[in-house]
Structure 1
């Protein structure tokens, strides 16, 4: 079936989920890349316009101590092992102050699952104190923090209902939640890739609870490893279903979708052999970028590539394949870099702006949740 006809079958005119058969056909690999690119770029223009957005943020990976052993992860360490770290509040506050002085409007916090991260015996109290310390150092900054896996870990550590964990963290300053730890929402893939990680069902349950509390989250897919097209389609349709439930409840739901290409340079040798590459296949990732735009449709206005994984040139090209956002400055990054990514760990606002203008597209700085930045808040 021609690409245009399949895309027409994906069109959602009555608030229903995309047609699964058409979705699988779009993602089968049989569709011409040029047709996917044109269709995705046109839908991007229709939903998000031509303006490319970016956020000035700082990434804070506060610890890599972790009790899990995901098969692809080069970030986690046991306490005391070479390369292990756990930053204290004073250092994190120093980084937060510096970020805000540089014009950052967001801190993105993610770390390993550290069972020693407790305050007076409570994991939840530790994370509350961490958020409060960062807001003390950088008043008013947006805290985009703690993946669904981390939120569930906190609840399990304190034997506390997830509802209470989210409510208390929101009260301590949590502004939104990264949609990482999703990897691929396929039980079969997860059993091979990350059997110790929370299940696909659990990830969805945590996200539903996050959205129910009025917090937005991002959505991700880690692709380009052992997953099949059907796994990606099921993942994307699951995200649409979650977004549909959020909108029906009158809450924001997902703020953006981010495709995360698999980096295998530091992965275990058996997985590296199965995948057959250490760095992303750019052509394949651009096709997936277009497929994501087409399948997620109007349910996801904002799409972002990963310049850390693709390099800035690759991320700039992704702006022609359905993306409308170029991401954040990050200032530092450890998880992907320790996996062997070569895209760098920091970009200036000027570099991100130049990426957009090189395509003849206008550009603007945004907030974490895609709001506008007041003129007085823009960096000089």
Structure 2
């Protein structure tokens, strides 16, 4: 599959070398510990540290802030290569960059960047982004968490849920969206506030018992008069929601890359299993029904990869990419879920056993149709791009 996943696409030498390097790291370092990490529901921080040493967390950031001087396409290549063997590790990288470091880089003050970015870009620290609440998921404008200015502090009250990278031993802070007032038009003024780990009144709840992504760190958060300095405002006051929408658009490309990797991992596993599994005296792969199923799996991987490549190239070229990102995310998440289902079917009873990667992909892939904007939200974005309102 490597000859198809690398050489058949428009990658330059640097991009191809990066993809090969991360692919090898995924096979040699990530894959051997994935089953145990999934079984024990533990994020392997040693793997995260090694990812930092490889420079993966700094890929899309300029060298002057401690990054690798690459672009978003490079980050997505790495995420795809990791997603092929372990979605939990891939989402740890994606969230660590897109939701942890990128908001600071995009909207932070010089002091915030100098203080927070070095450890984030080296993989020595992680950060989360608290957007989702019990009553505010796709409808993020329904945010109820508040931040009240009190002298030289912000006082934060409220709760967040499903927050990635929020409770690890190396989590440095979470950035939360909060209502900080009211606009002249009477709407909620939403801003983003940096809340360091260990802040009194900031509580990280027990980790969720999830269907999938077991090794990914995910917690509910609560804030009870959590007091942080006024300087912890991230970006312009009242621009928190608008700024996050920008972050969300490019995050959808990264999720599409992750989903493409997952779809390819299922394809590779199905190919290998069908070639070695004998039924009624002949290889499973000799049966046309299996051949057609695997051919469709290959088609989905190819289409998903083209979609995220296109969106990432548009983003890096400074061209509009909102619709392309939605198309990529929708296409790739469908591909991951469909390929996981088909691979599990090809594996038969073995596909129901957690020791096989296809079982993990089957559990993991469903969230790809939900996180970073549900499939229905992507359809809404595409519909609006076509000029349809409702």
Structure-2-length-normalised TM-score? 0.24
Q: Per residue, is there more helix in 1 or in 2?
A: 2
Structure-1-length-normalised TM-score? 0.24
Structure of higher CA gyration radius: 2
Q: Highest relative contact order (Cα 8 Å, sep 6+), 1 or 2?
A: 1
